[in-house]
Chains A and B, each alone.
Chain A
Amino acid sequence: EDQVTQSPEALRLQEGESSSLNCSYTVSGLRGLFWYRQDPGKGPEFLFTLYSAGEEKEKERLKATLTKKESFLHITAPKPEDSATYLCAVQANAGNNRKLIWGLGTSLAVNP
Chain B
Amino acid sequence: DAGITQSPRHKVTETGTPVTLRCHQTENHRYMYWYRQDPGHGLRLIHYSYGVKDTDKGEVSDGYSVSRSKTEDFLLTLESATSSQTSVYFCAISEDPAGPQHFGDGTRLSIL
Least distance between A106 CB and chain B CB atoms (Å)? 12
Q: Among B4, B43, B45, B99, find the residue whose CB has the most chain A CB atoms closer than 10 A.
A: B43
With A and B bound together, what is the CA distance between A91 and B102 in angstroms? 15
Closest chain-A Cβ to B111's Cβ sits at a distance in Å of 20
What number of A residues sit within 8 Å (CB to CB) of B? 22
Query: Is B98 a contact partner of A45 (Cβ separation < 8 A)?
Result: no
Do residues A46 and B101 form an inter-chain contact, with CB atoms below 8 A?
A: yes
Whether B103 lies near A99 (C-beta < 8 A) is no
Interface of A, helix, strand, loop or mixed by DSSP:
strand
A98 at the interface (CB under 8 A from B): yes
Complex CA distance for A25 and B40, rounded to whole angstroms: 17
B interface, CB within 8 angstroms of A: 4, 31, 33, 40-45, 48, 50, 58-59, 90, 92, 97-106
6 residue pairs, one from A and one from B, having the closest CB atoms: A43-B103, A102-B43, A102-B42, A98-B97, A46-B100, A104-B42
